[in-house]
């Protein structure tokens, strides 16, 4: 029988630190000299085993993006941004080659509505032993109105959002320019956090490896629509073209 749900260990979760809302909690990622189970590092970027592996039948890792607890992708220098994306994608693709995993996730939570627990900028790479995420994703999820295209990397506003409303896509071939992909992601996040017509402080990044393409979906996060929660029915705004023109005028 195909596995459809991940088993969540609530006993481990009870001990996880949280400082997005609980500001007085000390940041474990800032105590770098106390970090353990480090798998790789480059400058201030560190990949390590997750100290609180709440998902059963998985291999959970955390990718600490920087030593700046107040940093964010929208603020990184180009060099650090490019190093980060190259480091993250390379480790994600390497983990995919391990035959014990049906699929491997690479994602990022930022802000109080993103599902994250720690403010310090980080991503997660998670190997799934029993679930193939590809069965839950279609190529149509990444169709959209073109904002810009460079170096064989496309930046679009989704016409088939997975949750609904506004979602951005960045797509490239496996052999494409990772730095250009990172630049488009950074521009999108800056727009969401600083120029979006709706005040927004939370977002998610999701990375997908589909055949010979790598895709990133950038989702601003708000309270999720009850139509999606209860019925999995996403909603599509009628002003997508207007939004594309707005971001082009500010970011291109």
**HSE-up (13 A, CA, CB side) for residue 31:** 7
Task: Report how far Cα 123 is from the mean position of its chain's Cα atoms.
Answer: 7
Is residue 5 in some structural domain? no
Claim to verify: residue 236 and residue 156 sit in the same structural domain: yes
pLDDT confidence of residue 145: 99
Phi, psi of 168 (to 5 degrees): -105, 145
pTM: 0.96
Claim to verify: residue 160 and residue 113 sit in the same structural domain: no
Residue ending a domain, choose from 108, 134, 160: 134
Q: Which residue has the tokens 């700046």?
A: 68
- List the structure tokens of 122: 């980080």
Helices (H) and strands (E) in the chain, counts: 5, 10
For every residue of 209-224, DSSP letters joined together read EETTEEEEEEEE--SP
Q: Say which residues have a Cβ less than 8 Å from residue 115's Cβ, sequence separation at least 6.
A: 109, 204, 221
pLDDT at 252 over 80: no
Work out the mean pLDDT of the chain and round it to a whole number.
96
Q: How far apart are CA 202 and CA 112, in angstroms?
A: 6
CATH (domain of 158) = 3.30.428.10
Claim to verify: residue 161 and residue 96 sit in the same structural domain: no
pLDDT confidence of residue 243: 96
């Amino acid at each position: 029988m195909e596995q459809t749900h991940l088993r969540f260990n609530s006993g481990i979760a009870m001990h996880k630190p949280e400082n997005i809302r609980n500001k007085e909690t000390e940041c474990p990622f800032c105590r770098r000299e106390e970090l353990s189970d480090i798998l790789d590092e480059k400058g201030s970027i560190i990949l390590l085993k997750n100290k609180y592996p709440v998902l059963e039948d998985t291999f959970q890792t955390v990718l600490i993006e920087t030593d700046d607890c107040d940093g964010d992708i929208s603020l990184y220098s180009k060099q650090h941004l490019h190093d980060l994306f190259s480091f993250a994608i390379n480790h994600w693709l390497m983990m995919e080659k391990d035959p014990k995993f049906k699929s491997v996730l690479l994602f990022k939570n930022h802000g109080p509505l993103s599902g994250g627990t720690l403010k310090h900028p980080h991503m997660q790479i998670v190997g799934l032993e029993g679930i193939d995420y590809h069965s839950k994703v279609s190529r149509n999820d990444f169709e959209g109105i073109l904002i810009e295209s460079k170096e064989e990397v496309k930046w679009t506003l989704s016409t088939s959002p997975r949750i609904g409303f506004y979602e951005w896509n960045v797509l490239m071939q496996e052999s494409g320019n990772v730095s250009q992909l990172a630049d488009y992601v950074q521009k999108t996040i800056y727009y969401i956090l600083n120029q979006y017509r709706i005040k927004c402080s939370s977002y998610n990044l999701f990375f997908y490896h589909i055949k010979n393409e790598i895709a990133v979906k950038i989702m601003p996060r708000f309270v999720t629509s009850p139509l999606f929660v209860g019925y999995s029915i996403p909603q599509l705004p009628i002003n997508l073209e207007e939004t594309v023109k707005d971001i082009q005028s500010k970011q291109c």
